[in-house]
Structure 1
Amino acid sequence: MMLPARRTFQLLGVNAAVALLVSIVPELIMLWYVSAGASLLAAFIDLLLVVTEPAPRGERTVPHSLPLGVKRTVQLKLHNTSKRPLTLDIFDHFPQELHVTGFPLRLGLAVSSYAEALYEVTAQARGKLHFPCLQVRVLSPWRLWWHDMKLPVTSEVKVYPNFAAVAQYALLATDNHLSHLGIMKKRRRGEGQDFHQLREYRAGDSLRQIDWKATSRMRKAISREYQDERDQEIIFLLDCGHRMMAQDDDLSHFDHTLNAILLLTYVALRQGDAVGLGSFAGQQRWLPAHKGQYTVQQMLNALYDLQPTTFAPDYAQAATELLVRQKKRALVILLTNLRDEDLDDLLPALHLLRKRHVVLLASMREQAIDQALDARVDNHEEALHKAAVQHYVQARAATLARVQAAGIRCLDVPPATLSVNLINHYLDIKQSGVL
């Protein structure tokens, strides 16, 4: 496509001025003919020159994967394949799921050279994204035309849940630094489920910890030290239903859930446990429990394009399928957004799971509820609204109380605090020895 450049409009302005002059002084009609003819000839020659020259060659370097909501840099490289210096305007056809800053770009290319340009992208949705082409406009030699063309430069990128946060937490996720995240790992010296080592007796050790054979052999008091049981299995049961589309901030409840799954996966793997995942309500995926740090990458690949659907959750079916797939006793963490009308379907499913597994129900509470409770009341309408919210909160609390009365561990927190609360509950369950 050919587009007129600024100099073309300037040339038209000159010809318009000549035409105005000729209308006043008709004897100068030849001047207008010469001006118009020369302008048309120059425009035609300039158009031929830019159309017949070879197109520039473009390259795009994009990260293989992007974390959701984090800025990353994309690099463009344009090579001059013509025999003259080029002036280029560049626009990259990026996916609509990316927020982009830095366009449009203008580059100058010397003969037989290349230039690089950078721009920033922020992924706003997970999944596989496609860059279809790179659009450039080449300014003609006499600067009368822009030759607009699309270069077939294609790229694909996978947008994952925010694994950058997991990498940040990995630096803190040690015995001494978990508390920086609000994660309280309670130590019970010498106690646990699995034998760890023998050591010298310390004040405060119980008599049942003393190894009498080692004590008689060493002729000093020797205690057994235990550690929390390892080689256990954690299974996430993820609701992909319509309520997980709720959104309080930049991320949906579903994306907050995925971030929590990744962080708890990392912590559980460091504890020596195996981690797996199953999803239900429109998106059915199954990842058997595995150990090893490569499991984090497996989890990322299983989750990156998973999206909430318009389906209603069927808890009974999800529980039945999990029992068929997961034979070994495990900690099953059901992640959902609970409503009181779900209880008739949810309670039988939880009872079914509880026969073989330890179950933790993690439900997310909308921040709008807490904000409504904290808001001031200045008139009758606001008072009615706050009373309705209070009634909803009481009904929700009653629903959770019924679940807890059935012996099911419950968690009801805002999405932003889900990660830390999940890890704290996981550590408490491990240290309690119920698995």
Structure 2
Amino acid sequence: MSLRQNAFLLVVMTVLVAIMGAWSGDPMLAGAWRLPLGLLLLGLAYEGWITTRAHLSLTIEPGQRGILGRSESLQLSLQHRLHRDALVELAPDAPALVEVDPTVQMLLAPAAAPARTHLRITPRRLGEHVWPGMRTRIAGPLGLAWWPKRLATDFKLSVMPEILRDDSQHLGAVSSGARPRQISGAGSEVLQLRDYRSGDPQQLIDWKATARSGRLVSRDFSEDQHLEIVIAIDAGRTGALRAGDLDRFGHYANLAARFAEHAIAQDDRVGIVLFADRPLAALAPARGTGAVIRIRQLLAASKLAQAESNPLNAALRIRSLVRHRSLVVLLTDLDDATVAGQLASAARLLLPKHLPLIAGLASPEAEALRHAPAHSWLDPYEALAAQEYCARLERNVLALRALGAPAVLARPDQLERAVFDAYAGFRQRRRV
């Protein structure tokens, strides 16, 4: 309970009357302070009784889903059973891995209808998050006190990975993605019509075009190129390290979901492997919308493992998962020297049958520190440490490329473009 202005006025009046009674020496005035104090206590008792009959309840609109890293708005509905309007303050609470606007909201809840408001949230981890009780307090009708209440919400927020959207917030999603290469082959789509050449089989002749032109016309078909792709995601201990707005695993999961959606649109087959010290989950490559849905569901239900990652075990699982030559997109860390050694072993195991594309996150903070001007005695040492860190990352990337495994290192906001561009290049050069 917190006193309000009217209560403080009665408290001040009680003190002043008590002082006046003590100075006056009049026995009648000496006990007059009991009147304002009694009024205060009676008023507080009345307000407490009224607020217990309010039966405040808070409801969050069900069926809402969050998108990892994207700011969303939850609709809240506050109700009470009093026959008068009620003034309520709401202090937003959220699960540990969901950021929320901490601004305290003041609502005037009418007697016959719910008071509605919105709460801005930003999920930072995939999965299902149970919403905690909300801290509220209702104002007493006499203006004497705030009466605190914690309201249960009975709400669970399901956080899904990002979807493929052609907007300015996600560079490289659609604009730089792969497109089917139109070359002559034995596909099912007509590429062009041309004059008949001696030796063309009869099924290539377009009889309608021949009848219109009065000469033999043949058809060229585009060549079908259907790739098998396996996306391997590092879900080990280092995935919880923050990289910009999300942790590393969050960036990997969003990229994997969007890349799978884009590759499926190219009629490729896409599968996924989650790994830490061992493979945690796997889906064989499949084609169509159903494959995208299964991948997104697997990512949404995934959790980080508190173990060091071992890409070599993931490579063994990938070799058993796919029999034909495939593009393996390995999203993992490149900054640990021991992991770099395991990455090299994993690349050797996948090559030459498969084409591994190894992608990792660079640190914008380290890149800023390596060239930052010195303002104190400690700054040169921090700059040297940042330079060594960035140089080690670059050496690891060069070592992987020397083995024949394409490797990309990019900032969190540029990693998606780098992976999409590499995928487009592989399709155009027919490396898979």
- Tell me the CA shift for residue 117 of structure 1: 1.9
Counterparts of 1:30 and 1:396 in 2: how far apart (Å)? 81
- Tell me the CA shift for residue 387 of structure 1: 6.6
- The answer on 1:327 being equivalent to 2:323 is yes
Q: Which amino acid aligns with 1:326?
A: V
- The answer on 1:201 being equivalent to 2:194 is yes
- The answer on 1:43 being equivalent to 2:44 is yes
Q: Aligned in 2, Cα 1:44/1:286: closer, same or farther, shift over 3 Å?
A: same
Q: Which amino acid aligns with 1:101?
A: D
Counterparts of 1:102 and 1:261 in 2: how far apart (Å)? 31
Farther off after superposition, 240-249 or 379-388:
379-388
Q: Aligned in 2, Cα 1:90/1:384: closer, same or farther, shift over 3 Å?
A: closer
- The answer on 1:238 being equivalent to 2:233 is yes
- Tell me the CA shift for residue 115 of structure 1: 1.8
Deviations 1:72-123, CA, capped at 9 Å, x for gaps? 2122222231233322223343223333236422223343332212222222
- The answer on 1:280 being equivalent to 2:281 is no
Deviations 1:32-71, CA, capped at 9 Å, x for gaps? 34443444334334433443x2413332216621123322
Match for residue 359 of structure 1 among 342, 353, 356: 356
Aligned to 2:33: 32
Q: Aligned in 2, Cα 1:194/1:370: closer, same or farther, shift over 3 Å?
A: farther
Q: What SS class does the counterpart of residue 359 from structure 1 fall into? A: strand
Counterparts of 1:102 and 1:383 in 2: how far apart (Å)? 38
Q: Aligned in 2, Cα 1:149/1:413: closer, same or farther, shift over 3 Å?
A: closer
Q: Aligned in 2, Cα 1:63/1:97: closer, same or farther, shift over 3 Å?
A: farther
**Is contact 2:367-2:386 (8 Å) kept?**
no
**Is contact 1:259-1:419 (8 Å) kept?**
no
Aligned to 2:107: 107
Q: Aligned in 2, Cα 1:308/1:324: closer, same or farther, shift over 3 Å?
A: same
Aligned-residue Cα RMSD (Å) equals 3.7
Match for residue 222 of structure 1 among 218, 223, 226: 218
- The answer on 1:312 being equivalent to 2:297 is no
Counterparts of 2:172 and 2:132 in 1: how far apart (Å)? 46
Farther off after superposition, 178-187 or 109-118:
178-187
- Tell me the CA shift for residue 15 of structure 1: 0.8
- Tell me the CA shift for residue 364 of structure 1: 2.9
Q: Which amino acid aligns with 1:13?
A: V
Q: Which amino acid aligns with 2:411?
A: P
Q: Which amino acid aligns with 1:168?
A: D
**Is contact 1:257-1:418 (8 Å) kept?**
no
Q: Which amino acid aligns with 2:287?
A: K
Q: What SS class does the counterpart of residue 168 from structure 1 fall into? A: coil
Q: Aligned in 2, Cα 1:235/1:84: closer, same or farther, shift over 3 Å?
A: same
- Tell me the CA shift for residue 234 of structure 1: 0.9
**Is contact 2:193-2:219 (8 Å) kept?**
yes
Q: What SS class does the counterpart of residue 95 from structure 2 fall into? A: coil
**Is contact 1:6-1:144 (8 Å) kept?**
yes
Instruction: Give identity over the alignment, percent.
Output: 20
- Tell me the CA shift for residue 413 of structure 1: 2.8
Counterparts of 2:374 and 2:142 in 1: how far apart (Å)? 69
Aligned to 2:8: 9
The gaps in structure 2 that reach 5 residues or longer are none
Q: What is the aligned residue count?
A: 421
Counterparts of 1:153 and 1:394 in 2: how far apart (Å)? 50
- The answer on 1:418 being equivalent to 2:391 is no
Q: What SS class does the counterpart of residue 319 from structure 2 fall into? A: helix
- Tell me the CA shift for residue 369 of structure 1: 4.8
Aligned to 2:149: 149
- Tell me the CA shift for residue 18 of structure 1: 0.7
- The answer on 1:167 being equivalent to 2:160 is no
- The answer on 1:261 being equivalent to 2:259 is no
**Is contact 2:66-2:159 (8 Å) kept?**
yes
**Is contact 2:10-2:36 (8 Å) kept?**
no
Aligned to 2:289: 293
- Tell me the CA shift for residue 17 of structure 1: 1.1
Counterparts of 1:107 and 1:375 in 2: how far apart (Å)? 47
Q: Which amino acid aligns with 1:353?
A: L
Q: Aligned in 2, Cα 1:378/1:24: closer, same or farther, shift over 3 Å?
A: closer
Q: Aligned in 2, Cα 1:114/1:381: closer, same or farther, shift over 3 Å?
A: closer
Aligned to 2:124: 124
Aligned to 1:346: 343
**Is contact 2:231-2:256 (8 Å) kept?**
yes
- Tell me the CA shift for residue 8 of structure 1: 1.8
Q: TM-score with structure 2 length normalisation?
A: 0.82
Counterparts of 1:381 and 1:48 in 2: how far apart (Å)? 62
Farther off after superposition, 282-291 or 272-281:
282-291
Q: Which amino acid aligns with 1:357?
A: H
* Structure 2 counterparts to residues 23-102 of structure 1, below 5 A: 23-27=22-26, 28-51=29-52, 53-61=53-61, 64-101=64-101
- Tell me the CA shift for residue 132 of structure 1: 2.6
Deviations 1:259-307, CA, capped at 9 Å, x for gaps? 2212211210100012111011157121222222243333222223535
Higher helix share: 1
